[in-house]
């Protein structure tokens, strides 16, 4: 158990809908990362938040957005869903100390949320 | 841009045999390198990591990896494979402070390991 929790575990929805995925980082971790794992794209970095602020952005679609709340949990919002958005979405956390930001952070991954768009 | 190549998509080994999974990276400076394992329906578990220092790093479950800067490689090894090692293995590179404040991981495409009894 990595200490990172993600809910829900599975999500089935229809095209055009909007969903919210939730992540709770390890206790004390300040950074949260979102990754997408799909058969055609593999594991891809979406976005990173550090202590409530966006820190880095990857190949995240404009239909997707994220935020990190004061209690450090994070939510990934996916809207106008398409069939191709079906994937496993992982959250990871790192950085229990402010001084480790951007240095040798080790990312610990949650179990993922499997999204199926029908 | 950073990238990771895992040239073997599938590998099959017999239980008790040795294992080596290949990983090559491309990065403009000293990389931070990781191996993660993913069992079916599970998340990614960290096996080991290399930041600096000794180029041979030990991880969990009896795995080790060797960083070879001249070959841009970070191959994962295990002297004797157990049936429970069957899983998908991912090599990843992170840029640390050189990524402009971010710390994203770039993953390879993974190697699926099958263990024959």
How does DSSP assign B1-26, residue by residue?
A: --EEE---SEEEEETTS-EEE--EEE
Q: Do B99 and A56 touch (CB under 8 A)?
A: yes
Give me chain B's average pLDDT, please: 90
pLDDT (tens digit, 9 = 90+) per residue, B16-63?
999 999 999 998 777 889 999 999 878 899 999 998 888 999 999 999
| Residue predicted with more confidence, A78 or B55 | A78
List the single residue in A55, A104, A109 with the smallest CB-CB distance to B44. Answer: A109
Closest CA–CA distance from residue B29 to any residue of chain A (Å): 13
Candidates A109, A112, A113, A114: best to mutate against B (most CBs of B within 10 A) is: A109
Amino acid B40: pLDDT: 85
Residue located via tokens 């829900």: A8
Residues A91-108: pLDDT tens digits? 999 876 544 444 457 899
* Of residues A86, A90, A77, the one with CA closest to residue A117: A86
Task: Report how far residue B79's alpha carbon sits from residue A27's, in angstroms, rounded to the nearest whole number.
Answer: 35
């Amino acid at each position: 158990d990595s200490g990172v929790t993600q809910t829900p575990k599975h999500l089935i929805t229809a095209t055009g809908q909007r969903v919210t995925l939730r992540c709770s980082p390890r206790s004390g971790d300040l950074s949260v990362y979102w990754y997408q794992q799909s058969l055609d794209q593999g594991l891809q970095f979406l976005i990173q938040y550090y202590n409530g602020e966006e820190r880095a952005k990857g190949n995240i679609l404009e239909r997707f957005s994220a935020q990190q709340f004061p209690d450090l949990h994070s939510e990934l919002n996916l809207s106008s869903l398409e069939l191709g958005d079906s994937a496993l979405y992982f959250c990871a956390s790192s950085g229990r100390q402010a001084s480790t930001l951007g240095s040798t952070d080790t990312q610990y991954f949650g179990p993922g949320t499997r999204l199926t768009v029908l | 841009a950073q990238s990771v190549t895992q040239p073997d998509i599938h590998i099959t080994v017999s239980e008790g045999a040795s294992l080596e999974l290949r990983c090559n990276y491309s990065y403009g400076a000293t990389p931070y390198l990781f191996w993660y394992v993913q069992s079916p329906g599970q998340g990614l578990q960290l096996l080991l990591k290399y930041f600096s220092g000794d180029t041979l790093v030990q991880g969990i479950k009896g795995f080790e990896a060797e960083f070879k800067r001249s070959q841009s490689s970070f191959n994962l090894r295990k002297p004797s494979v157990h049936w429970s090692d069957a899983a998908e293995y991912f090599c990843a590179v992170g840029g640390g402070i050189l990524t402009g404040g971010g710390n994203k991981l770039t993953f390879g495409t993974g190697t699926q390991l099958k263990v024959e009894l």
